[in-house]
Amino acid sequence: MWKKCLIACCALLLLLAAMVAWLLFGNGIQKTANYFLAPDFQIQLNQPLRIDRQAITLPEIQLTSLKHGCQLTETTPIRFIWQQRRLFSEQVRLDYSCLQQMIAQEATTTEQPPFTLTRLFALLPLGEVEIADIEWQNSQAEHNPQLQRLLAASTRLKAVRQDDQLRLQLSVSEYQDGQAYALANADGILVDKTLTALLVYQPDEQQHHQVTLTADLADSVEQLPLSADLDYHWRSPEVIIPQGGITLNWKQQQAQLQLYEVVDQEQHQLLALPFDIKNGRLHISKARFNWAKQLPQPLNGFLDLDLQPTAQNRAFWNSFPLNINFRLSLLTSGDKGKGQVVIQGLDGKIDRQSLDIPLQVNGEVKSFDSIFYTNLPMRLEGDLYRPLLRFLSGSLLRMTGNTEYIDIEELRLPLAGVVVGQYGVKGRLQAILKGKTRQFEQIELHLDGRANEFIAGIHSIFNIRSAQEVIQLSETSATNRWNWNFWGNAKIPSLKSAVNLRGRGFWQDSLLNIQLLDGDLQRFTLPGVQVGALQLSLSQNLLWDYQQQQISGALSVKTPHIRLDYGGQILQPDISVTLDGKDFSDLNLKSELKADRLGPIRLFSSYQDGMLRGNIYWPQQSSDVFQPLFPKRWNWLIQRGTIRGQTAFSITPQNGLVAGGHIAIQNGSISLPNGAISGINFSLPYRYQDQHFQLGVKQPVEIKIAQLDNGVRLNDVSLQLQGYYPYSRQYPLSLTKLHLRLLGGELNVDKFSLPQHNPAYLRLNGIELAEILQLMQYNQLEMRGKVNAKLPFWIENSDCIICDGVIEQGNDWRIHLSDELIRKIEQGGGITERILTNLMETMDVYDSNIKVNLLTDGTGLMNAKIKANNALQNPIFLNYNHKENAFDLWDSINFGSELQQQLEYRLYQKQNQENQNQ
């Protein structure tokens, strides 16, 4: 019998030895662990166990999630020291992406029995666990830079269980140049059911975060602590509150949470939130907040909230669905008094994966000189983690008030049907604006379009779909885009005109694209100018990317004519403008003006810091392009010549328009009905500032005219011009060195200034008397000789045009009466007239004293004393006074010349028209 028992014991021992060998040195541990492991997980051991006198060493272990198809954990060999009860591993590698998938799936799993501290201490043996380095893999998808930095650092973990005490220590370090720098430290001790913890995070010298916690825990981890005190304070220049803190005091189901900011070592309360939790229900009553940062004015308000589970005897933090009711009151104040907006949510439902909360927003927001009126029925619905805010029928936001640029009579934003989600705004977006500015009145502008996941550039709130997601969407419209049409009109009081605009475009991401813009401005009048109806249109899309700081586009402005009051006109002016730059405050402009055959006149300019600077270039072209500037009633006809010019200019708020440049005319010729001007040559440098033209900036302008024929033929005209226009005493206009040839002699004027305070002396030299008589068409008298004169000339500030002028002899004169005149005198006169005729038939004048005056009404006065010898060499002394209207005399003597020149002009005009028709 005993032999049978011995054999049985030996067999049992052999079986146990085989089982131990299979477990320790085969794959028995792996199969056994996988058998008892939770479903969908699998452990893999690459090598068998190693046992020595001091410890047991587990090989590298890999834990895989079969459900998610990813390897969650991989460890280096784990060593368990017997006597110290210490478990140690050099490195544990965790897959961050795999862990995130498990956490997301865990939120949807069915509820499990609550875990308790008693069960925790029962499961954890006495001893110590230490991991020298925890390495996170596949964390590139994490967008939080602080968390990404922690995941990339080296983490050391140590956990110790002694009696009824459990301690967990965690340290995160970064290595630079082979030296470790502490990034974060956490130390928590759980004694019985009392937890004390300290967390310090210091990413750099300027930032510091610290959390301290003391709490008496309930046995179940799903129950709230019996009491707790939490203190979190930070110092971080990058956040909106550079230095501040949060405190939480919890006792007997009542708590007080406070948020404060530290300024100059003093605490300023921003939020005081009292709340209580009873019977699993959260109740907040009269929570008060006060916020002024990054807002045009402080925002104060109160919050009341009630959150409770639908099921009885359950708690809000671990039971769904939940019922929510709240009321948020926002208090504002502005120049027009105080305002209040109430946001109310009634009978809302929050489930584990979704929510449905009806919202109503009503009230007024008063900010500075503006008032916002809200009537917004809304609904917060959809996925709990990706909710949608849907504006219901009747949603309307209105605004009135004054801003720096516009007085808003009313701004209406109908929002019914608009949906706001994590990817932006979707639906029909509209705006109607009525108001006025300094330049415009009765403004009415409409904007209407459709948005599709439009975020308006607010990346801090909304997300952007990836390119792959956009491709997978079945929608044909582009995402993050708002397509719109606009139209409107306004009055322009300064022009007594009205403007109309219409167009379309879109806003996508950071790009605004105006694809169509048509506008018309009714005809208007300026001093001396009448402008026909203007038409504005885009010749190239107007693009503005405010993130890339780039703007481009082109437009054109056309009008049938610009008429000048004196009768001239500019026909069919067409202005094209091309622009590019960073934004509307930093632009480069290229413009080109054409008007019938006039131009092109090119403009290159830049607009920066409220200042416009540029250059205008006028390439050389024929002068006859100016023909429309001469009224038809003048009957002036440009025959030949060329013109060119260049101008540099700037427009600033301080100095207005400042310009400078030159205009040059070469070999110009104009045919007049009663004369002609030919051989016009000048280069006119000028400067414009303070509504004054300065002509001849550095030196006088020299003007030359080969011939001017207007009854009196003037040749080789030259003069110098310098000064200002309009002229004044402070800014005079001066004409100097005038020289011309006429009537066989010449005329010189040294200086002639406007306004005139001194006479301009007209100096005549060598004027032929015979040419004067020929000009006057006087054939009854023959005179030979030359005349010199000095004539003080006035055009303003005097009662006379020529005052006390003196005519002198240039040489001896001979005066001879015609036979016809002698015959008429002898036939109609007596003996005395015959004697005088015989004596004065021929005279040689050797001395004379002649004075002339010309009054402003045209009356000419001449007083002459003449000494002469007749043909018999008898002396003759003659006193002669004459009075005649010089203006009438000029008209009479100019009639014949005018008739001849009119005929020539008609021939030139006919020839010019034939050339244009060809």
- Average pLDDT score over residue span 858-871: 84
How far apart CA 900 and CA 896 sit, in angstroms, is 7
At residue 257, the pLDDT reads 92
pLDDT tens for residues 198-208? 999 988 888 89
Lowest mean pLDDT, pick from 135-149, 425-439, 719-733: 135-149
pLDDT tens for residues 642-655? 888 898 988 887 77
- Average pLDDT score over residue span 722-730: 86
pLDDT tens for residues 770-812? 777 777 766 667 788 888 889 898 887 778 888 888 988 888 8
The answer to whether 573 touches 559, Cβ cutoff 8 Å, is yes
Residue 471 has a CB neighbour count (10 Å cut-off) of 8
In the chain, the percentage of residues whose pLDDT exceeds 90 is 20
At residue 314, the pLDDT reads 79
At residue 801, the pLDDT reads 86
Greatest mean pLDDT among 30-44, 237-251, 686-700: 237-251
How far apart CA 159 and CA 484 sit, in angstroms, is 62
At residue 316, the pLDDT reads 80
- Residue 243: pLDDT over 60: yes
Number of helical H runs and strand E runs in the chain: 10, 59
At residue 17, the pLDDT reads 41
The answer to whether 307 touches 281, Cβ cutoff 8 Å, is yes
Nearest to 642 by CA among 660, 675, 611, 618: 618
Given pLDDT bands bounded at 50, 70 and 90, which one contains residue 378?
Answer: very high
- Residue 164: pLDDT over 70: yes
| DSSP-assigned states of every residue in 199-230 | EEE-SSTT-EEEEEEEEE--SBTTSPPSEEEE
Q: Would you give the distance in Å from CA 138 to the centre of its chain?
A: 43
- Average pLDDT score over residue span 604-621: 86
- Which pTM was predicted? 0.65
- Residue 910: pLDDT over 50: no
At residue 85, the pLDDT reads 80
Nearest to 122 by CA among 155, 82, 161: 161
- Type of residue numbered 821: L
Question: Which helix (H) or strand (E) is 306 found in, with range?
Answer: strand 299-309
User: How is residue 377 written in tokens?
Assistant: 């029925």
- Type of residue numbered 637: L
How far apart CA 686 and CA 411 sit, in angstroms, is 48
Question: Which helix (H) or strand (E) is 569 found in, with range?
Answer: strand 569-571
- pLDDT, mean over the chain: 81
pLDDT tens for residues 309-356? 888 877 787 788 899 999 999 887 766 778 889 999 999 999 888 899
Question: Which helix (H) or strand (E) is 2 found in, with range?
Answer: helix 2-25
- Residue 704: pLDDT over 70: yes
The answer to whether 77 touches 60, Cβ cutoff 8 Å, is yes
- Residue 43: pLDDT over 50: yes
| DSSP-assigned states of every residue in 36-80 | HSPTTEEEEESS--EE-SSEEEE--EEEEETTTTEEEEEE--EEE
Lowest mean pLDDT, pick from 109-123, 452-466, 627-641: 109-123
Nearest to 414 by CA among 442, 400, 388, 433: 433
- Residue 4: pLDDT over 70: no
